[in-house]
């Protein structure tokens, strides 16, 4: 089932122009250390969009994977991701979902082979964090696929510095 879902997504992404020669995509996300009374690690989703906000591919979802009964109940709180693609996914998904991450710098490394069907062009990596008893924040990082480039942005509440590298 999981493999089927991935295959379907790849097929959709390859519908348009010729795929770019595969580089790797690395995203670094800082989860801020917050001094609050009841801290829970945030749920975080990282995905690729086109400039018109249509989703291309979810790269990572960090949620309470170990809580089989209730861990997915709050996926909807990452509202933007849920609406643009999350709600159509089957989770957990190999290579995409994992446990919530501790404060500090976290990285998402996507080997070029996984994005082999993605046509060259302008895209946006979107990072959304939603925290229990806390807030929600979305950070958008425009980048170019098909050539080596870097980009950075920063959140102000639930996310810290975000940087992105496309290698050839």
Partner 1 sequence: MKKSIALIAALATLALPMSAQAHRAWLAPTSTVLSGADAWVGFDAGMSNGVFIPDHAAMNLAGLVITAPDGSTAQPENMVRARYRSSFDLHLTQPGTWKVANVSSGINATYRENGEEKRWRGQAAEFPGAIPAGATDVVATRTSNRVETFVTLGAPTDTVFTNPASGLVLIPVTHPNDLAAGEAATFKLSMDGVAASGVEVTVARGGTRYRDNPEEMTVTTGADGAFTVTWPEPGMYWLNATVRTPAQGETIAANAQYVAVMEVLP
Q: Which residues bind partner 1 (CB under 8 A)?
A: 69-70, 72-76, 79, 82-83, 86-88
For residues 132 and 40, what is the distance between their CA atoms, to the nearest angstrom?
6
Q: For residues 83 and 168, which CB has a smaller minimum distance to partner 1 in the complex?
A: 83
How far apart, in whole angstroms, are the C-alpha atoms of residue 168 and residue 154?
A: 25
Nearest distance in Å: CB 92, partner 1: 12
Q: Work out the number of other CB atoms within 10 angstroms of the CB of residue 93.
A: 17
- Of 76 and 144, nearer to partner 1 (C-beta) is 76
Report the residue number, 31 or 45, with the smaller CB distance to partner 1: 45
Which residues, other chains included, contact 34 with Cβ-Cβ below 8 Å and sequence gap of 6+? 103, 134
């Amino acid at each position: 089932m999981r493999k089927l879902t991935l295959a379907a997504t790849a097929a959709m992404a390859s519908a348009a122009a010729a795929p770019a020669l595969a580089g790797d995509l690395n995203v670094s996300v800082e989860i801020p250390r917050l001094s609050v009374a009841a801290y829970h690690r945030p749920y975080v989703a990282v995905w690729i969009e086109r400039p018109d906000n249509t989703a291309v591919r979810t790269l990572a979802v960090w949620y309470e994977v170990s809580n089989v009964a209730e861990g997915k109940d709050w996926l909807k709180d990452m509202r933007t991701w849920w609406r643009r693609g999350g709600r159509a996914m089957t989770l957990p998904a190999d290579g995409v979902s994992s446990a919530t991450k501790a404060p500090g710098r976290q990285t998402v490394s996507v080997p070029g082979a996984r994005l082999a069907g993605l046509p060259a062009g302008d895209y946006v990596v979107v990072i959304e964090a939603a925290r229990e008893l806390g807030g929600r924040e979305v950070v958008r990082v425009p980048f170019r696929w098909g050539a080596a480039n870097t980009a950075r942005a920063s959140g102000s509440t639930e996310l810290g510095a975000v940087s992105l590298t496309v290698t050839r």
